[in-house]
Structure 1
Amino acid sequence: MKSVQVLLCLVLLLFCTSEAAKTSKSGKAKTAKVAKLKKSEVTDSRDKQKYRTVKIADREWFADNLNLNVPNSYCYAEDENNCMAYGRLYTWEAAIQACPAGYRLPTDEDFESLWTAAGADFNVAYLLKTDYGWSGETNGNDTLKFSAMPAGNRFDDGNYGNLSKIAFFWSASAEGEEANVWYMSSKSMGFSYMTKPKTFGFSVRCVK
């Protein structure tokens, strides 16, 4: 009888050891996955503002909207608090030269890379949006730490709109008087682009 009890104890000990090893391996995998998405930080030498950055695929993105005060850039509704929360809104001509040294305004190819990294489907914005601030209960979960904020836009007549509803990002890809702008809205989890006049004011995300 004692030999049977000893045998059972040995079996249970081996089982528990095996399960602990599996848990340990699983925990390491999860930690490694999170580490790959860990944000870093860069300081803009021009005005000493700090921006979070995140590596997504083979590109390093700003995880905040640019907030450098240059000509033809604006705070939403002329309110400095909106600049602190959402960054500034730039005309395309201001945006194309606003990023700090080592970074640049993203091209359509850069945004397509971001779209692919987020799943290349109709729900990619869920992985790119912040988990707060979006109207209509369409927050994301910010899995990729891109932290897209619905900063709205400035129209070319000087009016503002779409705060808490749409995140617009200028693309460097342009032709004539218009340029592409990539956007996410509170109406869906899609991420796409459209063409707008370069005189509109939209957010800027820098990339390298």
Structure 2
Amino acid sequence: MKKLTRTVSLLFILCCTSCAKDTIEFNPGIQYGSFTDTRNNEVYKTVQIGDQTWMAENLRSISTDPHEVNCCNYGKLYMHGAAEEACPEGWHMPDSSEWQILINYLGGNNIAGGKLKETGTTHWDAPNKGATNSSGFTALGAGFADYDLGLQKRMKQAEFWTSSEYPPGYNVSSYYFVSLSNSSTSATWLISDDDFELMERKSVRCIKN
């Protein structure tokens, strides 16, 4: 069993290190910054949006979760527990209020998704509705990995964990996440409403402290 686990883990590591990278279409009209994560020497573009500084790429950090998938362009996908500790020093996984500040700055939930999404159909299926990437955030349709390791909604959806728990009295294991779709301009709030959904792996975008 241990041998099988090592083999599976190695396959996922190879997914991150040996696959060919496509060209991500960043907004050419925006001046991006740069940050190097010294834990694994990954270099990220960063972007100032309003008063916030965000990574303009999905996180690809080393995590304690051995079942890492979808790494090259789309970043790694994390269970919520791993996501909470994944951002490098000086950065953190945003809470729901920090996400909402971003969404409000971009005009509200109904239109912010289009301003967050990468343009074109390299990392999003058509129609990639309303995608302008005017914010420079460059969200990709990474999809998510189900608890049984099944990759879902690749190029159709992006899901980003937050650190915010759903209000007490509903389910102490529930957390908010933000969802973007290839068929919508919206940035939609959803919650992980059971333990199985917390085992799903979603993208992480770090925000600067």
Give the corresponding residue for 1:161: 152
Aligned CA RMSD, in angstroms, stands at: 1.9
* Structure 1 residues 73 and 103: alpha-carbon distance in aligned structure 2, compared to 1, 3 A threshold: farther
| 1:116 matches 2:109 | no
Taking structure 1 as the reference length, what is the TM-score of the superposition? 0.77
CA deviations on 1:84-129 (whole Å, 9 max, x unpaired) are 1100000011000100000000100111011011111512211110
Partner of 1:138: 128
Which structure's residues are more often helix, by fraction? 1
Contact 1:74 1:88 in 2 (8 A): no
Aligned to 1:204: 204
What TM-score results when the alignment is normalised by the length of structure 2?
Answer: 0.76
Aligned to 1:66: 59
2:55/2:207 contact within 8 Å kept: yes
Deviations along 1:14-41, one digit per CA (max 9) or x if unpaired, are xxxxxxxxxxxxxxxxxxxx99942100
| CA distance, structure 1, for counterparts of residue 28 and residue 71 of structure 2 | 30
Amino acid at match of 1:109: S
| 1:13 aligned partner | none
CA contact (8 A) 1:73 1:91 kept: no
Distance 2:34 2:66 in 1: 23
- 8 Å CA contact 1:74–1:201 kept in 2: the answer is no
Cα distance change of structure 1 residues 73 and 99 upon mapping to structure 2, 3 Å threshold:
farther
1:69 corresponds to which letter in structure 2? I
The offset of 1:71, in angstroms, is: 2.0
User: Residues 73 and 201 of structure 1 are in contact (CA less than 8 Å); yes or no, is this contact kept in structure 2?
Assistant: no
Percent identity for Structure 1 against Structure 2: 28
| 8 Å CA contact 2:127, 2:183 repeated in 1 | no
Structure 2 spans left out of the alignment, 5+ residues:
1-26, 167-171
Flag the structure with larger Rg.
1
The total of aligned residue pairs comes to 170
Match of 1:45 in 2: 38
SS state at 1:112 partner: helix
Asked if the contact 1:128/1:144 (under 8 Å) is kept, the reply is yes
Q: Partner of 1:190: helix, strand, or coil? A: coil
| Structure 1: 4+ residue segments shifted above 6 A | none
Unaligned runs of 5+ in 1: 1-33, 77-81
Quick check: 1:167–1:183 contact (8 Å CA) kept in 2? yes
Which of 105, 113, 129 is residue 117 of structure 2 equivalent to? 129
